[in-house]
Amino acid sequence: MSETVIKVENLSKQYRIGAREGYKTFRETLVDAAKAPLRAFKKLSPQSVIRNPQSETIWALKDVSFEVKQGEVVGIIGRNGAGKSTLLKILSQITKPTEGRVKLKGRVGALLEVGTGFHHELTGHENIYLYGAILGMDRWEITRKFDEIVAFAGIEKFIDTPVKRYSSGMYMRLAFAVAAHLETEILIVDEVLAVGDAVFQKKCLTTMNAVSRKGRTVLFVSHNMRAILQLCQQGLLLDAGQITRGGSISECIAAYMSNGKDHNQPIISQINRQSSDLTIKAITVNGSGSNKVPLPSEDRIIEIEITGKITVKKRIDVEARISDLNGIPLAFFSPGHEKGYANFYPAGDFNIRRSFELPQITKGDFYLSLYLTDPGVETWLEVLNAVHLISEGISTRSGLVFDYNKGTGWVILSDMTK
């Protein structure tokens, strides 16, 4: 059984709006002294007496608790402002918590926003040794890894140039190379894929995979759900400073993509089901009105039934789109584009049934969006990410289960040769 290397207990962080933490520079002190008479005058103003922005506070994190075992790769996801970066700064011991405590077993290497851990006036060569020393490495250990770090970053020609002259991509490549190659027990990475080209992103994912296989623990924050799903096994979903879901990364991503919808509720209870002259009364997918529907593995048929009411005569058909967890469309179905397929419905109640045969897709989680349209002319109503589809991913010929995480891709092509 793996030992716990990160233990977070009732962690909270409060910030005061309009206030700053830390010290003042000499220049700021002089500016404050020069402005002192003006501030004294403003205190006489009625507005300045009423307005006190420093009295407002906000909890960036509130009562966060979790544990991470040795060798686990944990994806931390959530929308902007959810508290992800604040959590990582506390775990990296850059920021102190307001309440609660963190127990870490081993050295921590952190790659947060561009600029953290490096001195802009020093060269890349000097910063490698500086950052290594901050992480608790001795000079011999850093020297042993030096050539690998420089080769990975791909900045051999600029290694003796001050990093303040680096581009953001060069800076990030060197920072990641140092954090990944110096042998800390815990690696914390925040949005490393936001900077850099596709080649660098692939190198990052490959390196983090290799790091985890060596028994090191990785915490990875990204808005790239495909990368999170490819790299991580476990996940934490943050919302408004609190953990709303923990466990399987696929379950966390599904909850994130569904905007917190309750999948035990009917589909129509979770959507805007009415336009100016069209109202949806019920939606079923494969006979289920739930937001969560197993995807058939053999015939791969999706049957959709929509009932509703219109106030004026309309030509209506159902179109559908299937997307992956990153929101990337995989397939679109528009039977109404076939001549004569869509029908006109008189004012009153209507009922539409459509069946779509899917290509064989791998095991995983997908989303189904529905559209009531006059095909090629106008969209009457959109039901985005209406249904969470769960694919069993079973090949009907061999009985094998194909998984996207194994590199198969989302769609399985079984008849490539004749």
Predicted local confidence at residue 6, as pLDDT: 92
Q: Which of 162-171, 195-204, 279-288 has the lowest mean pLDDT?
A: 195-204
Q: Is 166 exposed, middle or buried (0-12, 13-18, 19+ CB in 10 A)?
A: buried
What order of strands is seen across the sheet that includes strand 73-77? 108-111, 186-190, 217-221, 73-77, 234-239, 242-248
Q: Tell me the per-residue pLDDT of 71-89, one tens digit each, with 9 for 90 and over.
A: 888 999 988 888 888 998 8
Domain range summary for the chain, segments of one domain joined by +: 4-12+58-257, 267-406
pLDDT band, very low/low/confident/very high, at 61 (cuts 50, 70, 90): very high
Strand partners, 301: 357
Name the strand (E) or helix (H) holding 414.
none
| Neighbour tally for 169: CB within 10 Å | 15
Q: Which CATH number fits domain 267-406: 2.70.50.60, 2.40.170.20, 3.40.50.450, 2.40.30.10?
A: 2.70.50.60
| Structure tokens given for 235 | 């996940």
Name the strand (E) or helix (H) holding 145.
helix 139-153
| Neighbour tally for 57: CB within 10 Å | 11
- Whole-number Å distance between alpha carbons of 112 and 92: 9
pLDDT band, very low/low/confident/very high, at 51 (cuts 50, 70, 90): very low
pLDDT band, very low/low/confident/very high, at 12 (cuts 50, 70, 90): very high
Predicted local confidence at residue 212, as pLDDT: 78
Contact 227, 201 (CB under 8 A): yes
Residue 65 has pLDDT above 90, yes or no: yes
Domain 4-12+58-257 has CATH 3.20.20.80: no
Q: By three-state DSSP, how is residue 163 classified?
A: helix
Q: How far apart are the first and last CA of the chain?
A: 49
Name the strand (E) or helix (H) holding 192.
none
Predicted local confidence at residue 349, as pLDDT: 92
Residue labelled with tokens 């954090």: 179
Strand partners, 236: 76, 246
Q: Tell me the per-residue pLDDT of 369-417, one tens digit each, with 9 for 90 and over.
A: 888 888 878 888 888 888 888 887 766 566 667 766 666 677 777 654 4
Contact 293, 286 (CB under 8 A): yes
Contact 79, 258 (CB under 8 A): no
Interior angle at CA 254, CA 251 and CA 256, nearest 5? 110
- Whole-number Å distance between alpha carbons of 247 and 355: 35
Q: Tell me the per-residue pLDDT of 247-261, one tens digit each, with 9 for 90 and over.
A: 888 788 877 876 655
- Whole-number Å distance between alpha carbons of 216 and 214: 6
The top-scoring range by mean pLDDT among 113-122, 236-245, 274-283, 403-412 is: 236-245
- pTM to 2 decimal places: 0.63
The alpha carbon of residue 369 and the mean position of all alpha carbons in its chain are separated, in whole angstroms, by: 20
CA dist 309 → 282, 290, 291, 319 (Å): 10, 21, 22, 18
Closest CA to 310 of 273, 271, 350: 350
Q: By three-state DSSP, how is residue 102 classified?
A: strand
Dihedral sign (CA 361, 363, 367, 371): positive
Q: Tell me the per-residue pLDDT of 197-243, one tens digit each, with 9 for 90 and over.
A: 667 777 777 887 787 788 888 898 888 777 787 788 899 999 989 99
Predicted local confidence at residue 67, as pLDDT: 92
Predicted local confidence at residue 24, as pLDDT: 52
What is the phi/psi pair of residue 394, to 5°? -100, 125
Strand partners, 12: 99
